[in-house]
Amino acid sequence: MKTLKIEELSKNFGSTEVLKKINLEIDEGNFLVLLGPSGCGKSTLLNIIAGLETINEGDVFIDDYNVSKVEPKDRNIAMVFQSYALYPSMNVKENMIFGLKQAKTSKEKIQEQLEKVSKFLQVDQLLERKPSQLSGGQRQRVAIGRALVREPRIFLFDEPLSNLDAKLRVEMRREIKKLHQQLKTTVVYVTHDQTEAMSLGTNIAIMNHGVIQQNDTPEKIYNKPSNTFVADFIGSPSMNLIKGVLKENSGDLLFTVSGSNLEIPIKDYDFKDKSNLNNKEVFFGIRPEHIFFKKFNESDFEINLRADLSEYIGHEQIMTFDYANQEVLAKFPSTIKIDLGKETKLYFDLTQASLFNAQTEERI
Amino acid sequence: MQDSLKSSSYKQLEQKSKYTNMFLRWFLYFILILFASYFIFPLYVMVVTSLKTMEEIRQGTLLSWPSGLNLESWAVAWGGRGYGAGDTFLRPYFWNSIKMVLPAVFFSTFIGAMTGYVLTKWRFKGDQWVFLFLLFGCFIPFQAILLPMARTLGVLGISNSVIGLVLVHTVYGIPFTTLFFRNYYISVPTELVKAARIDGAGFFKIFFKILLPISAPIIVVTVIWQFTQIWNDFLFGSTFSFGEAAPIQVALNNMVLSSTSVKEYNVDMASAIIAGIPTLIVYVLAGKYFIRGLTSGAVKG
């Protein structure tokens, strides 16, 4: 049984296709993050799961039950919104129990739930206050509390941290993580912030233009991106994608860029399909953090590149190198001194490299 | 040497700017007082005249002070002289107006709030067109709809009645009240409605429990606007009602124009003031919210 299953879901607003044949599954207790740039359809997908948007095609199942035409209140879900959406005219207590009252829960049960959740979230001192008298973090907590008291099957979070300042955001992120560890409720969480996605999710579904690009664990998303969009979207700075050709030379495979004598040997790479690799146009992908200034691993590949630019950002520096007229970025500790305009010895960790088909932009 | 030179020239500049500022300030007060007196002058004349006897009016000037607190003309304006035919006074018409204005303000405000709520929070296909046509209602000159409206009232059997006037004012208030409420509710985050839907609240519950409690500023603006419009209306009142059913503005007109013998300026002035008092009261009581409601629309959760 899947807690949440989405089958062949399509949605359009007028002639704009927002979601195209989405398929998605979540197991009990998992934390799924929908990640993508703005306008990719992630919030629409969440609203559809909540029942706040209608579906054009496909179905949504909660606990194997088709809820596509079920009212939001009957789906056994709770949602936390970006703007908190606390009812301005009600105090904290009234906000938290509004849903239970609508569901005609008994007074004793309401009181019990309220006490339990408000203690748990440390808002029991604030029950009589109006939302306007709360700080951002407190509002966020009350909003989560309002979702918690209903003991839903699935929690839906719609960018819950983007209205907070940077410091509070990190704190609240940890609290949400703790919350999930303690409650083990299934969560669907929408964000455009990759750090949030990586640190919170047990699974991340990366979306672009209404299509799920990759749905995997954070480790797989980071290490084995399934296409150039994912490779480019995750990581800061994002993965270097060097355009070139694969050449087979007496059994060995090499990555070359035309008009340059730079060659990178491709050994032990886990190809999906080993045929027709010779002369294939590819992107060679390597993350800035997998380029070193000295040899760390025996297998690191040594290469000489000209340093063009240095960006100092405190604990580290981002260097831009020239690779056959293509830019390659590397991340070093800021204590390393590298002269600009000179050839520098660098070491690529080839075990972390990715190869993509230059036409389809898919991982090969 | 140079330093001291500098500091003395600064002193001069300082002195100069002080005089300029003083002059500008006095000039500002002069203008303000001038305009304030210009606006208060008619009111002064009205109040003073209403307190004079006809004898005093004939002998004194427009501005001269009344001899005493002579409230007789007010009593006549309100309650008449006590003889039968031809004695027009305001009391019955005042209550007509009250009976007309209260339901008309209530219904137009309530319906406007509802339509504003639907147009912003329950969007449907073609809702912009509905709004556009409603807006159109704000720009139609009322003279243009007098005949069709008279016919409608006739068919409904409520011409020349307070109920008929309530209907007319409610219908022609809706475009304005809808505009007010729509513009207010558009700044209320739609996520509130989504959250309430997940919590299990329906269409009316969301309206009454979530939106209406935060609508005080715009309700005040709408009520003041509608009250003033309906209370001061003469066109609809004089067209769709006569005799007993007329609202106060029509009665005021009849009273002032129908004096056969001598023009009783003191009674006329008192009547005009009586007819204007309710709107004044509404402004004084709610004026603070009026400004606040007009300038602020944002509700922060």
pLDDT in tens, A18-42: 999 999 999 999 999 999 999 899 9
Q: How many Cβ pairs within 8 Å bridge chains A and B?
A: 67
pLDDT over 90 percentage in chain A: 74
Report cis status (omega within 30 of 0) of the bond before B278.
Answer: no
Give the per-residue pLDDT at B298: 37
Q: What is the full DSSP assignment across A241-272? A: EEEEEEEEETTEEEEE-TT---EEEE-S---S
Residues of A in contact with B126 (CB under 8 A): none
Pick the range with the lowest mean pLDDT from A318-327, B12-21, B72-81: B72-81
Nearest to B200 among A85, A102, A131 (CB): A102
pLDDT grade for B56, boundaries at 50, 70 and 90: confident
C-alpha triplet A338, A342, A345: angle, nearest 5°: 65
Average pLDDT score over residue span A354-361: 93
Nearest to B199 among A84, A89, A99 (CB): A99
User: What are A328's strand-pairing partners?
Assistant: A321
Residues of A in contact with B299 (CB under 8 A): 88
Tell me which H or E stretch contains B289.
Answer: helix B265-295
User: Which of B123, B124, B198 has the most A C-beta neighbours within 10 Å, making it the best mutation to test the interface with A?
Assistant: B198
Please state, in angstroms and rounded to a whole number, the distance separating the CA atoms of residues A257 and A243.
7
Sorted by sequence, the CB contacts under 8 Å of residue B282 that are 6+ apart come out as B223, B224, B227, B228
Q: Is the predicted pLDDT of residue A136 greater than 70, yes or no?
A: yes
Q: How many CB atoms lie within 10 A of CB B216?
A: 13
Using one digit for the tens of pLDDT, what is the confidence trace for A3-12?
999 999 999 9
Q: Is B201 on the interface with A (CB under 8 A)?
A: yes
Average pLDDT score over residue span A143-162: 92
Sorted by sequence, the CB contacts under 8 Å of residue A363 that are 6+ apart come out as A224, A225, A226, A227, A272, A354, A355, A356, A357
Nearest to A52 among B192, B194, B209 (CB): B194
Structural contact between residues B116 and B134, judged by C-beta atoms closer than 8 angstroms: no
Give the per-residue pLDDT at B301: 37
Nearest to A50 among B189, B192, B198 (CB): B198
Please state, in angstroms and rounded to a whole number, the distance separating the CA atoms of residues B76 and B97.
19
Residues of B in contact with A84 (CB under 8 A): 301
User: Which of A80, A98, A101, A141 has the most B C-beta neighbours within 10 Å, making it the best mutation to test the interface with B?
Assistant: A98
Yes or no, beta carbons of B198 and A78 under 8 Å apart: yes
pLDDT over 70 percentage in chain B: 91
Nearest CA in chain B to A103: B200
C-alpha triplet A200, A206, A207: angle, nearest 5°: 135
Nearest CA in chain A to B190: A85
Residues of B in contact with A139 (CB under 8 A): 301
How far from chain centre, in Å, is Cα A28?
19
Yes or no, beta carbons of A50 and B191 under 8 Å apart: no
Give the per-residue pLDDT at B84: 59
Q: Is A246 on the interface with B (CB under 8 A)?
A: no
Q: Is the predicted pLDDT of residue A197 greater than 60, yes or no?
A: yes
Q: Is A102 on the interface with B (CB under 8 A)?
A: yes
Q: Is B200 on the interface with A (CB under 8 A)?
A: yes
Residues of A in contact with B197 (CB under 8 A): 52, 72-73
Mean pLDDT over all residues of chain B?
87
Nearest by Cα to A306 from A338, A264, A341: A341
Yes or no, beta carbons of B192 and A89 under 8 Å apart: no
Nearest CA in chain B to A99: B199
Using one digit for the tens of pLDDT, what is the confidence trace for A268-283?
888 888 888 888 899 9
Residues of A in contact with B296 (CB under 8 A): none
Pick the range with the lowest mean pLDDT from A54-63, A220-229, A248-257, B158-167: A248-257
Q: Which two structure tokens, joined as six digits, stand for A310?
A: 């240095």
How far from chain centre, in Å, is Cα A272?
24
Please state, in angstroms and rounded to a whole number, the distance separating the CA atoms of residues A269 and B273.
94
Yes or no, beta carbons of B301 and A86 under 8 Å apart: yes
pLDDT grade for B254, boundaries at 50, 70 and 90: confident
Q: How many CB atoms lie within 10 A of CB B51?
A: 21
pLDDT grade for A149, boundaries at 50, 70 and 90: very high
Please state, in angstroms and rounded to a whole number, the distance separating the CA atoms of residues A175 and B290.
43
Q: How many CB atoms lie within 10 A of CB A317?
A: 18
Nearest CA in chain A to B300: A132
Task: Strands of chain A (E only): list them.
Answer: 4-13, 16-26, 31-35, 57-62, 65-66, 77-80, 154-158, 186-191, 203-208, 211-216, 240-249, 252-256, 263-266, 281-286, 291-292, 301-312, 316-323, 326-333, 343-348, 354-357
Structural contact between residues A140 and A175, judged by C-beta atoms closer than 8 angstroms: no
Residues of B in contact with A132 (CB under 8 A): 300
Give the per-residue pLDDT at B261: 65
Please state, in angstroms and rounded to a whole number, the distance separating the CA atoms of residues B120 and B123.
6
Q: Is B255 on the interface with A (CB under 8 A)?
A: no
Q: What is the SS3 assignment for A136?
A: helix
Q: Is the predicted pLDDT of residue A71 greater than 80, yes or no?
A: yes
Average pLDDT score over residue span B263-278: 89
Nearest to B299 among A82, A88, A90 (CB): A88
Residues of A in contact with B192 (CB under 8 A): 85, 87-88
Structural contact between residues A10 and A20, judged by C-beta atoms closer than 8 angstroms: yes
Q: What is the full DSSP assignment across B25-72? A: HHHHHHHHHHHHHHHHHHHHHHHHHHTS-HHHHHHS-SSPPPSS---H
Using one digit for the tens of pLDDT, what is the confidence trace for B279-295?
989 888 887 777 666 55
Using one digit for the tens of pLDDT, what is the confidence trace for A244-269?
999 988 878 899 988 788 889 888 88
Q: Is A120 on the interface with B (CB under 8 A)?
A: no
pLDDT grade for A353, boundaries at 50, 70 and 90: very high
Yes or no, beta carbons of A98 and B300 under 8 Å apart: no
Sorted by sequence, the CB contacts under 8 Å of residue A113 that are 6+ apart come out as A97, A100, A105, A149, A151
Average pLDDT score over residue span A184-199: 94
pLDDT grade for B68, boundaries at 50, 70 and 90: confident
Give the per-residue pLDDT at A258: 80
Please state, in angstroms and rounded to a whole number, the distance separating the CA atoms of residues B207 and B196.
10
Q: How many CB atoms lie within 10 A of CB B277?
A: 11
Question: pTM for this one?
Answer: 0.82
Give the per-residue pLDDT at B300: 43
Average pLDDT score over residue span B190-217: 93
**What sign does the dihedral B117-B121-B122-B123 (CA atoms) show?**
positive
Q: How many CB atoms lie within 10 A of CB A231?
A: 26
Sorted by sequence, the CB contacts under 8 Å of residue A233 that are 6+ apart come out as A35, A36, A37, A194, A206, A208
Parallel/antiparallel/unpaired status of strands A240-249 and A211-216: unpaired
Nearest by Cα to A241 from A355, A360, A364: A355
Place of tokens 């969009």: A229
CA Rg value for chain A: 25
Label residue B18 exposed, middle or buried (CB < 10 Å: 0-12, 13-18, 19+): exposed
Please state, in angstroms and rounded to a whole number, the distance separating the CA atoms of residues A272 and A277.
11
Q: Is B87 on the interface with A (CB under 8 A)?
A: no
Q: Which two structure tokens, joined as six digits, stand for B164?
A: 């008929």
Give the per-residue pLDDT at B292: 66
pLDDT grade for B85, boundaries at 50, 70 and 90: low
Residues of B in contact with A83 (CB under 8 A): 189, 191, 301
Q: Which two structure tokens, joined as six digits, stand for B39?
A: 């606006």
Using one digit for the tens of pLDDT, what is the confidence trace for B113-133?
999 999 999 988 899 999 999
Mean pLDDT over all residues of chain A?
92
Nearest to B201 among A51, A83, A102 (CB): A102
Give the per-residue pLDDT at B186: 92
Q: What is the ipTM of this complex?
A: 0.84
Q: Distance from B191 to chain A by nearest Cα, in Å?
A: 6
Domains, chain A, ordered by start: 4-232 (3.40.50.300), 240-357 (2.40.50.140)
Whole-angstrom CA distances from A133 to A23, A136, A247, A300, B77 are 42, 10, 66, 57, 53
